[in-house]
Amino acid sequence: MIKPHGSEKLNPLYVMDAGEREALAKEAQSLPSITVCSAAAANAVMLGSGYFNPLTGYMNLADSISAAEKMQTTSGLFFPVPIVNVVQDASAIQGAKRIALRDPNVDGNPIIAVQDVEAIEEATDEQMKAMTENVFRTTDMDHPGVAAFNSVGKTFISGPIKVLNFSYFETDFPETFRTAWQIREEMAKLGWEKVVAFQTRNPMHRAHEELCRMAYNALDADGILIHMLLGKLKKGDIPADVRDAAIRKMAELYFPPNTVLITGYGFDMLYAGPREAVLHALFRQNCGCTHLIVGRDHAGVGDYYGPFDAQTIFDEVPKGALEIQIFKADHTAWSKKLNKIIMMRDAPDHTKDDWVFLSGTKVRAMLSEGQSLPEEFSRPEVAKILMDYYQSEAAKQ
């Protein structure tokens, strides 16, 4: 395993000591408090988990602007996106040096973290626009990440935090949610040194499965970390519990024992394409992974990014900024000519009709209507889990 980003050892911001955590939780009840947005709560979970090592809390406005523009903070620390606590109205905590952050995603808005306030700063419209453009490469409010970033306010509350819990992720996904240090511990127990990570926010069809196998074999890796996003998604994406069940079934039936770790992390999807791909690499390094699979349109949405922008952006990452390496993948699909799944770039003689390829819209329609997916596209056991979900959704309408 490789060392974390920016430090020799991982420094998660979760308060590990139970006594200290209890005392801090008690103190937090008497502090001025504010209910943060979902993205800020997810950032707290990621900071607490060690995924955003070596950050000690939320960035100030200058660091946010610098990270958006140059992929580094004002001190020169490489970080590809701003990690922020942004609110509409900070009047409830004006003048406070220490505040409690309340979770918007759990009933009763319990306190998720305590923050020492270093600054409360208002971004200008021009600064918000520039950060949006730099991170998302668009300011189109139809882009779900752009809409989320620009709908929560312009007031940046910066400073170090101590995290008390992992929001709903630990309770809703007890078998799947793992912190960066827990993943490191599990990989160490398995004796894994060379580990390839696969990012997903979707169920894994045959092509995804084979892509993991291709990378595993090509790199002569010890294991595969299937690492799924468990946080907020855009409308129409498949819920995390359904994805989790489908991925577990695939790994159980089609991979040898002890070659795959199925885990998840608590973060709201940015849909930031290239920038999010770099963030994905950074926090997989913090998990101890040596490689990350980056395929076509990684972390993208719609037509906002070119198919390989998430690969070419790594050419802009300064040498030595990250230790993790990228396994560059093309789209993978079943070749009717070769009777197996391959990367499309490896078959220049193929035409469109030579591939088994279904659009997401077509897949959803077939599953909703109870139609089986082609076995070349999806494992039948996986398709059954997805079909049950889509049919239950259709029955509600």
- Residue 65: per-residue pLDDT: 98
- Residue 369: per-residue pLDDT: 84
- Residue 134: per-residue pLDDT: 98
Q: Are 5 and 180 in contact (CB under 8 A)?
A: no
Mean pLDDT estimate for the chain = 94
How far apart, in whole angstroms, are the C-alpha atoms of residue 315 and residue 337?
Answer: 35
- Residue 89: per-residue pLDDT: 94
Residues in the chain predicted with pLDDT less than 70, given as ranges, are 234, 236
Nearest-Å Rg of the Cα atoms of the chain is: 21
- Residue 364: per-residue pLDDT: 79
Q: Domain 18-170, what architecture?
A: Roll (3.10)
Structure tokens at 367: 């599953």
**What is the model's pTM?**
0.93
Domain boundaries in the chain? 18-170, 175-396
- Residue 324: per-residue pLDDT: 98
- Residue 140: per-residue pLDDT: 97
For the chain, the straight-line distance linking the first and the last C-alpha, in angstroms and rounded, comes to 48
- Residue 21: per-residue pLDDT: 97
Residues involved in catalysis:
201-202
- Residue 127: per-residue pLDDT: 98
- Residue 392: per-residue pLDDT: 86
- Per residue in 201-239, pLDDT (tens digit) is 888 889 899 999 999 999 999 999 999 999 877 676 788
CATH pick for 175-396 out of 3.20.20.70, 3.40.50.620, 3.40.190.10, 3.40.50.2300:
3.40.50.620
Structure tokens at 76: 């020169």
